[in-house]
Amino acid sequence: MMSIDTAKLARKIRIHALKMTSSGKSSHIASALSIADILAVLYGKFLYIDPGKPDKSDRDRFILSKGHAGAAIYAVLAEVGFFRVEKLSTHYQDGSDLCGHVSHKGVPGVELSTGSLGHGLGIGSGMALAAKLSGKNHRVVVLLSDGECDEGSNWEAILFAAHHQLENLIVIIDYNKFQALTTVAETLNLEPFADKWASFGWVVREVNGHDLSAMEKMLFNLAEIKGAPKVIIAHTKKGKGVSFMEESVLWHYRSPQGEEFERALKELEG
Amino acid sequence: MTNPRIILLSGDLGFGVFNQYRKDCPSQFINAGIAEQNMTAVATGLALEGQTVLTYSIGNFNTLRCLEQIRNDVCYHNADVKIISVGGGFSYGALGISHHATEDLAIMRSLPNMSVISPCGLWETKMATDAILDTPGPFYLRLDKSFGTDNPLMSSEVFRIGRARVLREGTDVSILVTGGILEEVWQASEILINEGISVKIVSVHTLKPFDDALVTEIVSHTKNVVTVEEHTVIGGLGSAVAEALFDRGVCPKHFLKIGLEAGFSSIVGSQKYLRRHYGMDAQSISEKILNMF
């Protein structure tokens, strides 16, 4: 794979997501900004993929389980060449196949459609099990949100993946500490979060989810560890990159318009 | 011959049922634990990687408990997952409402991409099992603890998904039935024949895809049409037949849906007892039909 400047890629993801949620008048810009750096490292460095052959059988599988951040995944897929960047302008428009929550139909590179939380990890576990049973070497990466971990179905999957020692499965949690109405701590506290995963038999790492080189290094190191599934708890800032959106529950819903859009764009374009 | 593409996931049920299978195909059986949401999601993941995956449980556990996984994951991705549930209707009658599968056909029938099969006897069960494994895409196979005699009228008969089967020829009334309650329908037909009524019995093993034209054609030779199902009268076989006939402008002289009208059953009873209690045993069916004449 060609060398990609992940910082540039992350900035492009953020700018696309801002424009898409503005022109579509859609929600979840802060959730998309939160994962831009994670996606940049995955698609710029880690995942073995070929945008020209999206169905290649030995590709790594990536599942965005927090499907509400659809704008960010569409942006990165377009930027690395799965489809034309121009298509992004159709996001959330009548008749488009770029739904608010990520959908695979008509969108090359999208592995799985999600939107209802708590679905991606079980499916990713099934994909990882299939690879293990057939002796294939590709990896499965699932990106969860923190609030999503309220869903009991995740904990069923967490048991299952550890029991079956799915060492080809890596979970990344976008731990931005906010969910739909307020903070995670005030809703259903996840702490001690790392201990919970460790006690379920997972290999656990924590990282600054905006530190591109640290994440890249961690992913490649983790991929070498055998015998258990792995989780990276990525400490992130909701709304990262736009000062007035950071760590504010408002921008889970609010669509950037008018002067707010212009200010945000200016900050992102630096 | 074993098919290496098949993987069977059980929701921690089927004690003793899979002994031979596990012996023959040890790597193709996984007990997924009492976690039906995850079992269905894992099945989807395996299926998207090219496996044919069966999820096995009883009653509503691998259907209603994980309905959203079936809708969003299995159906939207058109994954090759076969949902096999044992315990249609009041099969587990005495266990209480948690174990009564009495809305499953209506709910599963409404899901896009999902096919729904409810065999009425051992022949159909075997044939349907082979057929769904040979047909890609989502299926719901509803198995019953009871069964009727469903042997073909002609030995040359071939089972086809979606193709209703005539099990008894007759001219006065057509009884369309799905599931093991065929045994009650058969006994009812004996009573009716003794009363001089000519009864046609049709097994509608496939609720979806529903062959509107075939069902309409089959019943068009009798003036009276009755449906029997161990299931709510809302949205199951009776509804499917009514929709098919009405859509085609066919109006029988009498049309009667026999099934569960009471909603929930909170009384203890065997399958036999509850059928009688809710008016769908052989005696009740024959009486209701005699009242038509």
Predicted confidence at residue A221, as pLDDT, reads 98
Instruction: Suggest the residue from A59, A123, A150 to mutate for an interface test with chain B (most B CBs closer than 10 A).
Output: A123
Minimal-distance CA residue of chain B relative to A112: B77
**How close is the nearest chain B Cα to the Cα of A119, in Å?**
7
Minimal-distance CA residue of chain A relative to B29: A133
Alpha helix ranges (H) inside chain B: 19-24, 36-48, 67-68, 104-109, 122-133, 182-194, 212-219, 237-247, 271-277, 282-290
Instruction: Report the distance separating Cα B27 and Cα B45, nearest Å.
Output: 17
Minimal-distance CA residue of chain A relative to B52: A130
Say which of B33, B45, B72 has its CB closest to residue A127: B45
Residue A167: pLDDT over 80 = yes
- What whole-number percentage of chain B has pLDDT above 70? 100
The ipTM value here is: 0.96
Q: Please answer yes or no on whether A119 and B40 come within 8 Å at the CB atom.
A: no
Pairing of strands B165-168, B224-232: unpaired
To which residue do tokens 């799985």 refer? A112
Predicted confidence at residue A28, as pLDDT, reads 95
Name the interface residues of A facing B (CB cutoff 8 Å). Answer: 104, 112-116, 118-119, 121-131, 133-134, 152-153, 156-157, 159-160
Q: Please answer yes or no on whether A128 and B68 come within 8 Å at the CB atom.
A: no
For chain A, say whether B41 makes contact (Cβ under 8 Å).
yes
pLDDT digits (tens, 9 = 90+) for A124-157: 999 999 999 999 999 999 999 999 999 999 999 9
Q: Please answer yes or no on whether B41 and A126 come within 8 Å at the CB atom.
A: yes
Q: Please answer yes or no on whether A157 and B42 come within 8 Å at the CB atom.
A: yes
**Residues of B marked as catalytic:** 36
Residue numbers in A near B49 (CB within 8 A)? 126-127, 130-131, 134
* pLDDT grade for A164, boundaries at 50, 70 and 90: very high
pLDDT digits (tens, 9 = 90+) for B166-218: 999 999 999 999 999 999 999 999 999 999 999 999 999 999 999 899 899 98
Q: Which residues contact A214 (CB under 8 A, 6 or more apart)?
A: A207, A208
Q: Please give the sequence-ordered ranges of beta strands (E in DSSP) within B78-155, or none if there are none.
A: 81-86, 115-117, 139-143
Instruction: Report the distance separating Cα B231 and Cα B261, nearest Å.
Output: 9
Residue A178: pLDDT over 90 = yes
Q: Taking CB atoms and an 8 Å cut-off, how many pairs form between chains A and B?
A: 83
Q: What is the mean pLDDT of residues A9-36?
A: 96
Both structure tokens of B157: 């008969």
Q: What is the mean pLDDT of residues B19-42?
A: 96
Q: Please answer yes or no on whether B37 and A153 come within 8 Å at the CB atom.
A: yes
Both structure tokens of A243: 């000062």
* pLDDT grade for A121, boundaries at 50, 70 and 90: very high
**Structural contact between residues B176 and B202, judged by C-beta atoms closer than 8 angstroms:** yes
Predicted confidence at residue A254, as pLDDT, reads 94
Nearest one of B283, B275, B105, B99 to B178, comparing CA atoms: B105
pLDDT digits (tens, 9 = 90+) for B77-116: 999 999 999 999 999 999 999 999 999 999 999 999 999 9
Predicted confidence at residue B218, as pLDDT, reads 87
Q: What is the mean pLDDT of residues A89-113?
A: 95
Q: Please answer yes or no on whether A160 and B50 come within 8 Å at the CB atom.
A: no
Q: Please answer yes or no on whether A119 and B47 come within 8 Å at the CB atom.
A: no
Residue numbers in A near B48 (CB within 8 A)? 112, 123, 126-127
Q: Please answer yes or no on whether A131 and B51 come within 8 Å at the CB atom.
A: no
Say which of A113, A127, A160 has its CB closest to residue B76: A113
Predicted confidence at residue B1, as pLDDT, reads 57
B 50-109 near A (Cβ less than 8 A)? 50-51, 68-69, 72-73, 76-77
